[in-house]
Amino acid sequence: MNSERVKLAIAPIGWTNDDMPELGSENTFQQTVSEMALAGFTGSEVGSKYPRDPAVLKPMLEIRGIQICNAWFSTFFANGDKARTIDEFINHMNFLHAMGAKVIGCSEQSKSIQGTTLAVFDDKPHFTDEEWRLTAEGYNELAEIAAEKGMQVALHHHMGTGIQTRAEIDRFLAETNDNVFLLYDTGHAYYSEGSQQEMLAILDRYLPRINHVHLKDVRDDVVAQIRNEKKSFLDGVRAGTFTVPGDGVIDFRPVFALLDERGYTGWMVVEAEQDPALANPFEYAVKARKYIRETAGI
């Protein structure tokens, strides 16, 4: 891959899990970003322990050669909470803009079960036609707001939400304008659709509208356990559903080849939330960096 077009980041969720702060509560912000840099990454997303004042955060990252590339934002359009979503989005966007990020990764969290004890497969939420309309309308508006700052909005398809499956991604992108993008996540695509082939089909079809990529590997045996035992998304995280590229079942070589062939420009972010007590974050960051160097050539 072309290292001038593609930059490599890692998410802090491997050090401290924002959904379950007890996982990795002992890992400090400074330790996290120091280990990211030491492992060879030049970018980061934003975690719950990161200072939210750019004047404080910027120097701490610059001294380590780390740049902010994105930060999660929850939207609530489907349930009618448009005004609050847009108000909070503007504050979030302004923070990311001050940090030099170009992409705002959003997830539609109306009806989401990802943070609950509900079975991630059996209890998956679905949107009505009206909820789809509200979501598409909301994202079209966010894209216009972001464009004023020279930024782009991306929807993060995610397990346990109303936009998880290949069919739901199809509908979302069909109903939104071309300036609404997709945050493509290998792990969530594989987890939802159950195969490498389906995961790659999403990437292949929508590459022109993908502006941010999460590199996440999956352990098939854990996914089977979560499905069979009707466990929740967070149960899966604790049990090790996800891991870093090269440590699970996904072959990332065709992923890197597709991104390279189509001239993808932007960040690739290693995001593999595990229990840090079971998977040492620094060790796994080094493992991921080595695998990407060997398979993507960057």
- Residues 82 and 84: their CA atoms lie apart, in Å, by 6
Looking at the whole model, is its pTM more than 0.85? yes
pLDDT above 90: residue 20: no
- What is the pLDDT at residue 24? 79
Please state the separation of Cα 59 from the chain's center in Å: 25
Q: Supply 3's token pair.
A: 């290292």
Q: Tens digits of per-residue pLDDT, 237-254?
A: 999 999 999 999 999 999
**Mean pLDDT, residues 267-277 taken together:** 94
Please say whether the beta carbons of 106 and 86 come within 8 A: no
Q: Tens digits of per-residue pLDDT, 97-112?
A: 999 999 999 999 999 9
- Please, which residues have CB within 8 angstroms of residue 220's CB and are 6 or more apart in sequence? 248, 249
- What is the pLDDT at residue 188? 98
Q: Supply 46's token pair.
A: 């934003």
- What is the pLDDT at residue 85? 98
pLDDT above 90: residue 137: yes
Please say whether the beta carbons of 249 and 217 come within 8 A: yes
- What is the pLDDT at residue 18? 79
- What is the pLDDT at residue 21? 77
Q: Identify the CA nearest to 188 among candidates 237, 133, 256.
A: 237
**Mean pLDDT, residues 190-202 taken together:** 98
**Mean pLDDT, residues 262-273 taken together:** 96
Q: Tens digits of per-residue pLDDT, 45-93?
A: 999 999 999 999 999 999 999 999 999 999 999 999 999 999 999 999 9
- What is the pLDDT at residue 17? 83
Q: Identify the CA nearest to 217 among candidates 260, 254, 272, 174.
A: 272
* Domain chopping of the chain, boundaries: 6-296
Q: Domain 6-296: give its CATH superfamily.
A: Divalent-metal-dependent TIM barrel enzymes (3.20.20.150)
- Residues 169 and 181: their CA atoms lie apart, in Å, by 11
- As a whole number, the mean pLDDT across the chain is 97
Q: Tens digits of per-residue pLDDT, 178-191?
A: 999 999 999 999 99
- Please, which residues have CB within 8 angstroms of residue 4's CB and are 6 or more apart in sequence? none
- What is the pLDDT at residue 148? 98
Residue 104's CB is within 10 A of a number of other CB atoms, namely 27
Using CA atoms in the order 72, 73, 74, 77, what is the torsion angle rounded to 10 degrees?
A: -140
